[in-house]
Amino acid sequence: MTKIRYRESDGAFDLDLPGGWQMDRDAEDGGLLISAEDGVGLLHVIAFDRDPEEETDPAEELYAFLEDQEIEIEEDEVDDFELEGGGAIALCEYLAEEEDEVAFWMVGVATAKGQLLFASYSCPSGEEEKESVIVRDILASIAFRTRS
């Protein structure tokens, strides 16, 4: 595992990148693009600046995003857990039809005081078993840090 440190005006966090995985900055949308060499999917992680005093529930932010996308999931389909550094993350998985294909999506929102991180992973449906556990591990390794 390689520890990746992200420190920009929009947020500060660390995450663990497994061997054989690579990271690039997303020049167009911001954040990080993470994928396995010869992998089947792409993980996009983007941080958003928040009021330093604001504490946000990651599940509420996740539900708001899903509602905007017109995606319906049940409460028991969302996994919530604590992160190192005082944060928490809410994750869900679903299938969505895109053009003539079905895609697997894993979407998560992580929050800590004054910080919010949005993560989305997608790959062709049926291929998710190859990387979904590793992607969950990457997201579970997020540790929010103080921006300096």
- pLDDT of res. 141: 93
123-135 pLDDT tens trace: 999 999 999 999 9
Residue 76 clears pLDDT 70, i.e. is over it: yes
pLDDT in tens, 11-47: 678 899 999 999 999 888 888 999 999 999 999 999 8
Q: How far apart are CA 86 and CA 64, in angstroms?
A: 22
Mean pLDDT computed over 51-71:
88
- C-alpha to C-alpha distance for 49 and 24, rounded to whole angstroms: 20
More confident residue, 123 or 56: 123
Rounded CA-CA distance 95/6 in Å is 30
